[in-house]
Amino acid sequence: MIEDSIQALRRAARITNDEESEEKVASEKLWCVMAGNDKLIDDIAYDAISSRDRVKILFREHVTLEDERVNKKFDFIMLYGNSYIIEKLSADCKEGGGAYIKITPDYVKQKPNLMVMVGPEDTVRQSVAKIERARVQFGILLDDQTTGFIETDINSKVKLPKFLKEAFNPLFNVSEVVLKTILISVDKDKDVDTVQDIATSNKIFVIDFKDIDMEA
């Protein structure tokens, strides 16, 4: 009985502390982009919807990238809202093997031409190298990468008997494809289109903050 009472008091204290912490940061808002496999982003979306409008889903995308032999499939989502809830969702994302970056209002106010890139790590690195060679002045402000798997399967262009594809696909699904999520700031307005063109040609998804509803 005494032990039960102690545990009940501890639970009540934790709930109170959580509520106080949430209330403390209730006025603070963040943007957050999270990437990973579809199951992980499904869970993040569900929790965001369950947050009683404290966090809004600005958009969600399912992406399939076709290489010569393999299709790479992943999801990403952009959230905006209560920083306390987003901190929790970010921790869940990282624990599930996903990648995330959190953008504070300070970045939006102080840095020019913010753009988020999401894609396979090798392709993101190639895009950044091309942007640098194009003499675009920019900086990488934040970056993160996945530690969990994303779905992959054999491209339909690869000619194999059906039974072999069915045998090989499970092997591809556990292959390590690292997703990279970065936030960059482009110094000059005239260079934004160049960055967009390079990323798009490399099949990198780009989010231009100019296209985001800041009053969401």
Q: What is the pLDDT along the chain (216 residues), one digit of tens a residue?
A: 555 455 544 554 554 455 555 555 456 899 999 999 999 999 999 999 999 889 999 999 988 877 666 677 899 999 999 999 999 999 999 999 999 999 999 999 999 999 999 999 989 999 999 999 999 999 999 999 998 877 665 555 544 445 444 544 555 554 567 899 999 999 999 999 999 999 999 989 999 998 886 555
Task: Kindly list the strands in the beta sheet with 138-145, ordered across the sheet, starting from the edge strand earlier in the chain.
Answer: 138-145, 179-186, 114-120, 205-208
Residue 132, domain extent: 2-209
Q: Alpha-carbon distance 15 to 34, whole Å?
A: 27
Say what the pLDDT of residue 214 is. Answer: 59
Query: Is residue 88 situated within a structural domain?
Result: yes
Query: Is residue 216 situated within a structural domain?
Result: no
Say what the pLDDT of residue 160 is. Answer: 46
Say what the pLDDT of residue 176 is. Answer: 62
Say what the pLDDT of residue 124 is. Answer: 95
Query: What residues does 139 pair with on adjacent strands?
Result: 185
Three-state SS for 116?
A: strand
Say what the pLDDT of residue 177 is. Answer: 75
The C-alpha angle 107, 112, 115, rounded to 5 degrees, equals 75
Query: Is residue 214 situated within a structural domain?
Result: no
Q: What string of DSSP letters covers 123-188? A: HHHHHHHHHHHTT--EEEEEEEE--S--EEEE-TTS---HHHHHHHHHHHHTS---EEEEEEEES-
Query: Is residue 159 situated within a structural domain?
Result: yes
Say what the pLDDT of residue 73 is. Answer: 82
Best CA proximity match to 55, nearest among 108, 102, 110: 102
Three-state SS for 206?
A: strand
Query: Is residue 54 situated within a structural domain?
Result: yes
Say what the pLDDT of residue 27 is. Answer: 62
Question: Tokens in use for 157?
Answer: 């262009």
* CATH assignment of the domain containing 54: 3.30.70.1150
Q: Alpha-carbon distance 76 to 44, whole Å?
A: 10
Q: Indicate the number of domains in the chain.
A: 1
pTM given for the model:
0.78
